[in-house]
Amino acid sequence: MSNEQPIAGAAILDALAAAGVEFVISVPDITTSQGLLWPLTEDRRFRLVRVCKEDEGVSICGALSFCGKRALLLIQYTGLLDSINALRAAGCDYKLPVAMMVGLLEKEPGVPPKQSARFGVRIVEPILEAMGVPHDLFELGSDAARIRPAIDRAYQESWPTALLIGRRI
């Protein structure tokens, strides 16, 4: 395992702001709760939209893109699994940019998601790959530099992307 510091919530927020994200749509996830979502509630660079279920957020992100607004859907992987049909429709069929930051609850730090002992974590990347949705794993401090390019690409190509958070922030 690397000795590098884990990715920090503040660095993620700065990267999101640099990427032009104005709206964050979220159902809380313990993976990102303390270091990211709670600080975000007081960060005036973003408008937080709390939703009851993650598929609402997929649609909100897609609709905001018509208005020229960038958004991030901040959820847990269980919510991603629950939102597959909405993502299929808005993201893949309609080719809309849906940028998702997905906490991999209880993934072992340093272990690739496909090798996790958790069944639910193991199937996340194969499902995204089956849908053609690009994904990347974010665990270490240096990973934050890849957030903005991933979001830029989603909006430039008008296609979903999944930023997987592999350890508790």
Partner 1 sequence: MLRRDQCFRILARHVTDEIVVPVYQAAQEWRVAKPDHALTFYSIGAMGQASSCALGLALGRPDKRVIVLDGDGSLLMNLGSLVSIANQRPKNLLHFVCENGAYEANGGHPIPGRDRVSFAGFARAAGYPKALEISALADFEAKIAGLLKEDGPVFVTLKLVAGDPPPQDYAYIHGAAAREAFRAALKR
Q: List interacting residues with partner 1 (CB under 8 A).
A: 23, 47, 49-53, 55-64, 66-69, 71, 85-86, 88-90, 93-96
**Closest separation between CB of residue 139 and partner 1, Å?**
30
- Nearest to 47, CA basis, from 69, 32, 65: 69
- Contact status, residue 5 vs residue 142, Cβ threshold 8 Å: no
**Closest separation between CB of residue 24 and partner 1, Å?**
12
What DSSP element (H or E) covers 1? none
DSSP 8-state class, residue 158: T
Q: Which is nearer to partner 1, 32 or 59 (CB)?
A: 59
Q: Which is nearer to partner 1, 40 or 71 (CB)?
A: 71
Contacts of residue 55, Cβ cutoff 8 Å, sequence gap at least 6: 82, 83, 85, 86, 87
**Closest separation between CB of residue 106 and partner 1, Å?**
25
The dihedrals phi and psi of 87, each to the nearest 5 degrees, come to -70, -40
**73: helix, strand or coil:** strand
**Closest separation between CB of residue 109 and partner 1, Å?**
32
**Closest separation between CB of residue 64 and partner 1, Å?**
5
Give the integer Cα–Cα distance in Å for 59 and 109. Answer: 31
What DSSP element (H or E) covers 30? helix 30-32
Q: Which is nearer to partner 1, 71 or 150 (CB)?
A: 71
Q: Which is nearer to partner 1, 90 or 144 (CB)?
A: 90
Q: Which is nearer to partner 1, 90 or 162 (CB)?
A: 90
